[in-house]
Amino acid sequence: LTIPISIVFSLLCFYIIHLIGTQHYSLGYRLTLAVKRRELVAFYQPIIDAQTGYIVGAEALVRWIKPNGSVESPGAFIQTLEQSKLINKVTLQLVNNMPNDLAEVLQCSPNFRCSINLVPQHLELPFFADELVTLSKNGYPCHQLAIEITERLPLKDLREAGMNVEKMKALGVCIELDDAGTGYGGASYLQELNIDVIKIDKLFVDTLIISPDRTQVLDANIQMAKTLGMQIIAEGVEEPSQSKALLEKGVRFQQGYLFAQPMSAVEFVKFWRIRQESYADQFLNSTQVP
Ligand code: C2E
Ligand code: MG
Ligand code: MG
Ligand code: MG
């Protein structure tokens, strides 16, 4: 009897050692470790005023920098992160790092704004707004921060969310509706959440090249934003023809691979410097020539 027990025991030991030695941890556990080790950082994608070429802002997008240096996009892990409390820690880390990551840009461009993606619990519970109140008291540039509220996930308590949004607005935070027209919120979000900016989803921007004679929903979205006095940012602009068509429709602020991919903080600041310089030169030249 002792022989089979010892065999089972050693097999069990081998299995446990195997588990420890390899990648068989759950994604949730690996993410917990990654957050502790600060492997989740923000990449920044510029938002351009397509009329002047200047960078008016950026969106912070989370990336997982693996110990071997590879960069993983959120597609592979954002759902797991969002379904656990880890998302709170990660979001606060991104918010806390922003002033340092973008110090030069924030200082030189007082109107530059960086947005951060939130999940419903950041609005339905008071901790996130309260954290911003504290940060603001300690000199955090809240007027250069924007929050993106996605339509992709349902908000259960719109009234509570509205109250927390007001707290943030009072600090100067800009309120943006992300993935507009693709999800749950629609008109109720616009009414209750005091939205400043509508981010028109790539889905609608794509109709400009996929089916140019069927851009009615895009046009209606733009018209609605204008009627409500909200600013518009078009997402996922990949082609010059899209950018031009959007400009003709009065949509100046654009984001997409046509201009730049999301970049590490260091790369973003470099990109910003070069672009601001070259466009400032252009502007000087054009004003010198009568
Ligand atoms: P999103 O907030 O709508 O962000 C825009 C996504 O479109 C980003 O993907 C961006 O890299 C991508 N994109 C930008 N321009 C183009 C383009 O021209 N063409 C194409 N094909 N794609 C473009 P990414 O970074 O993979 O993020 C995917 C989604 O993950 C985000 O969609 C957002 O919903 C979520 N996410 C990213 N970072 C965070 C975060 O820190 N917190 C939370 N809660 N969600 C995040
Ligand atoms: Mg977003
Ligand atoms: Mg978006
Ligand atoms: Mg989106």
177 Cβ inside 6 Å of ligand 1 = no
Global confidence as pTM: 0.91
Maximum distance among all Cα pairs of the chain, rounded to whole angstroms: 100
Q: What are phi and psi of 198, to 5 degrees?
A: -105, 125
Which two structure tokens, joined as six digits, stand for 87? 């998302």
Q: What mean pLDDT comes out for the span 239-257?
A: 97
Q: Kindly tell me if the per-residue pLDDT of 284 is higher than 70.
A: no
Lowest mean pLDDT among 12-26, 82-96, 126-140, 211-225: 12-26
Residue 145, C-beta contacts closer than 8 angstroms, at least 6 positions apart: 95, 98, 113, 114, 115, 116, 132, 172, 173, 174
Cα of 206 from ligand 4 centre, angstroms:
13
Q: What pLDDT is recorded for position 22?
A: 55
Q: Which helix (H) or strand (E) holds 211?
A: none
- Phi-psi region at 181: left, alpha or beta (left = phi > 0; alpha = psi -120 to 50): left
Tens of pLDDT along 110-147?
999 999 999 999 999 999 999 999 999 999 999 999 99
| Contact status, residue 46 vs residue 58, Cβ threshold 8 Å | yes
% of the chain exceeding 90 in pLDDT: 76
94 Cβ inside 6 Å of ligand 1 = yes
Q: Whose CA is nearest to atom 19 of ligand 1?
A: 236
Q: Of ligand 1's atoms, which has the minimum distance to the CA of residue 94? A: 41
Q: Of ligand 1's atoms, which has the minimum distance to the CA of residue 179? A: 3
Interstrand relation of 174-180 and 197-200 (parallel, antiparallel or unpaired): parallel
Q: What mean pLDDT comes out for the span 163-175?
A: 97
